[in-house]
Amino acid sequence: MYKYLIIFLLIINLSNGLDNNYTEINEIQMILDSYHFICKPELDVFDCVDMSVANYNFFKSIGYNVSIAIREDGFMPNGAKTGHCFAIIELSNGWVGIETKQAVINTSASIGKVISIPELREICKTPEEVYKKDKRKYHVTCNVIEKN
């Protein structure tokens, strides 16, 4: 009897948290869809590093707690691991990622898509930490986000 009561209370608690996150997630997605990138994505020119930093700076400027996540993203033909990074935003009950891959979003219509956070290699608290890990010497640091 107690076992079922505990499970029931746990389900109620989890669903309340999800309801709260659902509202926050919708709010974040509405913001993402109200802006677009003014640069076209191009590997090693304007890529996930630049877009994640742009989203980091943008969401930080409007009051969100933001970090940048780095994860493994596959392998090169020579067997070397490839990485991917994206901004992550703290919610009242957890974190969500902001995906910027061209396969997921149209960057001329949105600055990202809210995603659940996959397995991460590392979390960087500032753009400078991400830049230190990137092989490029130059990064797009000007404002690249514009209102739709």
Q: Where are the domains of the chain?
A: 2-147
Tokens of 137: 């010497």
The CA distances from residue 146 to 52, 98, 108, 115, 136, in Å, are 15, 17, 10, 22, 25
- Please report, rounded to a whole number, the percentage of residues in the chain having pLDDT higher than 70: 80
DSSP annotation of 40 reads: -
Nearest to 53 by CA among 25, 87, 29: 87
Q: If pLDDT is split at 50, 70 and 90, which confidence band does 133 have?
A: confident
Tokens of 105: 């979003």
Q: What is the pLDDT of residues 20-66, one digit of tens each?
A: 588 999 999 999 999 999 998 888 888 999 999 999 999 999 999 99
- 6 vs 83, which has greater pLDDT? 83
Break the chain down into helix, strand, coil percent, rounded to 5: 35, 30, 35
What pLDDT, on the 0 to 100 scale, is given for residue 134?
84
**pTM reported for the whole predicted model:** 0.81
